[in-house]
Amino acid sequence: MSLRNLSRVLQGSCRRPLWKSVERGYYLYSPEPIHPLPDRTPDWKTAEEAVQVIQSGQRVFIHGAAATPVHLIQAMCDHGKRADIRDVEVMHIHTEGPGLEGRADAIPIFLSEIPRLFRQRIINIDVALVSVSPPDKHGFCSLGTSVDCTRSAIQNAKYIIAQVNKNLPRTFGDGIIHQSHVDAMVECDDTLHEMKRVELSKEEVMIGKLVAENLVLVPYQMQFWPSWVTIET
């Protein structure tokens, strides 16, 4: 075919743009939590039914801070005792709520680096226990108050159990997850956990004063867990 004929085919003879004439392949599955997965909906279960998937030797991730799904944690513990489940590794950052004894091994790492452990498959998760807001009419939920490393954890997890709590505030941006990514949903409207305000001791006030007057430039950033804050004196 001559160049003139080829040009005519590409420019004049095509009834629609060339890019529209080419069939493009695409993936039906997307690891992005905000992308709906076709023909997939979660099963609504009781907490006791949902945690039956947890088996010996598995690794379980738990949503942290104010979003700690205590109802699911208690069901997991009860299931472990009844079924004599052993060697379950539980991973989380700061958690709140009753029944947590505070026994754990700490991994020294910056919060901002934790998602890499999950996204690069350095650490893999079998089951994730998370809290979400109720799905809207389009099926979108929110991770609420604690998006942190949970977003990357649910991208990694093989199975996701969500405690649906109407008291969890709906936050947007990276906190949105479509219900099609969730395997089991459990309704439980627990009150969110809150940190009690306490008065600073004289020693704590003195430490803050020494840091502010001797170690901090203006303006300067210092890293306090779990995020960066700007300190101005």
Q: Which helix (H) or strand (E) holds 115?
A: helix 114-119
Return the pLDDT at 153.
Answer: 94
Residue 207 has pLDDT above 80, yes or no: yes
Return the pLDDT at 62.
Answer: 95
Return the pLDDT at 8.
Answer: 57
Instruction: Quote the mean pLDDT of the chain.
Output: 82
Region 24-47: what's the mean pLDDT? 78
Residue 71 has pLDDT above 60, yes or no: yes
Comparing 5 with 187, the larger pLDDT belongs to 187
- Strand pairing category for 227-231 and 220-224: antiparallel
Return the pLDDT at 98.
Answer: 65
The least confident of 50-64, 80-94, 201-215 is 201-215
Comparing 84 with 105, the larger pLDDT belongs to 84
pLDDT (tens digit per residue) in 111-167: 889 999 999 999 999 999 999 999 999 999 999 999 999 999 999 999 999 999 999
pTM over the 0.85 mark: no
Show the domains of the chain with their CATH numbers: 43-187 (3.40.1080.10), 202-231 (no CATH)
Return the pLDDT at 18.
Answer: 43
Residue 30 has pLDDT above 50, yes or no: yes
Q: What percent of the chain has pLDDT over 90?
A: 52
Question: Nearest-CA neighbor of 160 among 51, 11, 68, 78?
Answer: 51
Comparing 32 with 25, the larger pLDDT belongs to 32
Query: How many other C-beta atoms are found inside a 10 Å radius of the C-beta of residue 231?
Result: 15
Region 198-204: what's the mean pLDDT? 88
Region 78-101: what's the mean pLDDT? 86
Region 27-45: what's the mean pLDDT? 82
Burial code of 111-148, b = ≥16 C-beta within 10 A, e = fewer?
eeebbebbeeeebebbbbbbbbbebeeebbbbbbbbbb
Residue with tokens 């991973």: 91
pLDDT (tens digit per residue) in 162-187: 999 999 999 988 899 999 999 999 99
